[in-house]
Amino acid sequence: MQPSEVHAFPNGTPPPIAAPQPGFPLGEPILYVRHIADTLDRNIACSVENVYSQQMALLRPTKPMGWTDRGVSEQFVLCNPSGVPLLYLSKHGINPQSVQINGPTGEDLGLLGQTAPFGGPAGSLPMTLLYEQRPVGSTWIGRRGGERDTLRAPIYGAHGEPIATVDRQWRYRGGGWRGDDRYYDYKLDCPAPQATGISTLLLAVALCHYVFDRLSLGGPAYALARASHR
């Protein structure tokens, strides 16, 4: 995720958002998932942006997250910039764990299901992408190892062909007393259009990378511990 990949605004004026391209997540071949700071890092929220840094959507929890029971069962809503829900992500379990994706009226949009214990690169979680209860792809989510690790997670189609990648880049904001001064940015790169159901799952995978990492690294206990050492 080099700075050159984010297009400059001519004369400092952002261009209008282009018409959505069918077959891509939110109509965009490339999307960025960026951390949104929260007091004491209690809630998990992120902005989904295009290559012009224009916000396409916002992910946030549907209710305030707990202080001590984080991660077992959490629900998030993805809204467009006007606040209209686009989809819901419902995370269940610890090991194994799954993420159910539902539309704004509750329709089933797919499932990300853990297929084995920590077995991917750096101890990550192998996941199967299911649409209409059929396996349509696979990937791995989650992290282990050094906090500054830059990771690339390929997403494979039903026949093992690569259809997208999620790149994770460590960031350090610095300053402040809150626990939000180390985090990651994520880039979802989809080289070719996919069926509507699959493109939604690709977006869900990128969002889950962010959510799983924040559950692993963040939280009020972590924020308070870091504050006590400043």
Identify the band that residue 86 occupies on the pLDDT scale cut at 50, 70 and 90. Answer: very high
pTM for the model: 0.83
Please return the burial class of 3, using the count of CB atoms within 10 Å of its CB with bins 0-12, 13-18 and 19+: exposed
In this model, does residue 72 exceed pLDDT 70? no
pLDDT for the residue numbered 151: 83
Whether omega before 193 lies within 30 degrees of 0, making that bond cis, reads: no
Q: How many CA atoms lie within 13 A of 191 on its CB side?
A: 9
Cβ neighbours of 80 (radius 10 Å) = 14
In this model, does residue 41 exceed pLDDT 70? no
Residue pair 110/92 in contact by the 8 Å Cβ criterion: no
The answer to whether residue 14 sits within a structural domain is no
The answer to whether residue 105 sits within a structural domain is yes
CATH number at residue 118: 2.40.160
The answer to whether residue 155 sits within a structural domain is yes
- How many domains is the chain partitioned into structurally? 1
The answer to whether residue 186 sits within a structural domain is yes
